[in-house]
Structure 1
Amino acid sequence: MSNERIFTTQFAQIYPMYIQKAERKGRTKEEVDQVICWLTGYNPAELSQQIEQGNDLRTFFAQAPALHPNSSMIKGVVCGIRVEDIKDPLMQQIRYLDKLVDELAKGKALEKILRQ
C-alpha cells in the first residue's frame, strides 16, 4: 500500500478497527479515545467532530492541535518497521498511533502508554 493511499484513508474508517482491536483484549473505547487525544491534542468533542467530518488521515493529523511532546518517546516496531526510524513525519504520526493502540491491546498500563 502506498503512503498516499494511507494518507487519503478516512480516519473514520480506521477508528472502529482501533476500538475493535482494543475491545477484543478487554480494553475500552474510552481508553482508545484517551490514547488518541493524548497523541494528537484533540479533546473528545474535537475527536468526534473529526470522525463525523470524514477527514482523511492527512487532514486529521494536520488539524491536530499539537502532537504530544513525549510522542518522540514512542519506540518499537509496527508492520516490521521501527517507528522511530520512519522519515516521513505524517507516516511516523500514523504509526505512532498504531503503536499506542497495539500497546493498549497488549495490556500495557495506560500510564506507560501515555509516557507518564
Structure 2
Amino acid sequence: MSGKSSQDERIAKMTFASVYPHYLAKVEKKGRSKEELHQVIKWLTGLNERSLQKQIKDKTTFEQFFRAATIHPNAHLITGVICGHRVEDIENPLTQRVRYLDKLVDELAKGRKMEKILRSV
C-alpha cells in the first residue's frame, strides 16, 4: 500500500467530531467566532445547523460526513497549499474535500474577509 492511499484511508476513517474542536479553537484563538466557522462549513457542505450538530454528535467519519454533504459548486475555486499539498491537485475526492475544509478554516483564522472565503463570484 502506498503512503498516499494509506493517508487517504486514515483521513476517511477520522471522525469529523475529533477534528471540529481543533477547527473551533484555531478560529477563536484568532478572534473569529463559532458562527463564522459554521457559516464556512455550511457553505462548503450544504449542511444546515441541525445536520451539522448531528454529524458531530454521531461522531461520523469524514467519509460519512462528506457523503451527507452537497459540495458547493464554487468549491473548485479553493486553491493553495495545505499540509504541503496544493488542494487543487489532490486526486482523491474525499481527501480533497477535507483539505478544502482545512483551507477554508485557515483562511478564516488568518482574518480573510468572509466574501473572499466563500468564493463569492
TM-score (norm 1): 0.97
> Matches of residues 7-26 of structure 1 in structure 2 within 5 Å?
7-26=12-31
Where structure 2 has 5 or more consecutive residues not aligned to the other structure, the ranges are: 1-5
CA distance in 2, matches of 1:92, 1:102: 15
Question: Do residues 52 (structure 1) and 67 (structure 2) align?
Answer: no
Identify which of 61, 73, 84 aligns with 1:69.
73
CA distance in 2, matches of 1:81, 1:9: 19
TM-score (norm 2): 0.93
Would you say the 8 A contact 2:30–2:110 is kept in 1?
yes
Q: Which residue of 1 aligns with 2:10?
A: 5
Aligned length: 115
| Moved >4 Å (runs of 4+) | none
Where structure 1 has 5 or more consecutive residues not aligned to the other structure, the ranges are: none
Q: What's the CA shift for 1:2?
A: 2.0
Q: Which residue of 2 aligns with 1:106?
A: 110
Q: CA RMSD in A?
A: 0.8
CA distance in 2, matches of 1:81, 1:38: 23
Per-residue CA deviation, residues 2-51 of structure 1 (Å, 9 max, x unaligned), is 22111101100000100000001000111111100000000111100111
CA distance in 2, matches of 1:94, 1:32: 15
Identity of aligned residues (%): 56
Q: Decide which structure has the larger Cα Rg and report it.
A: 2
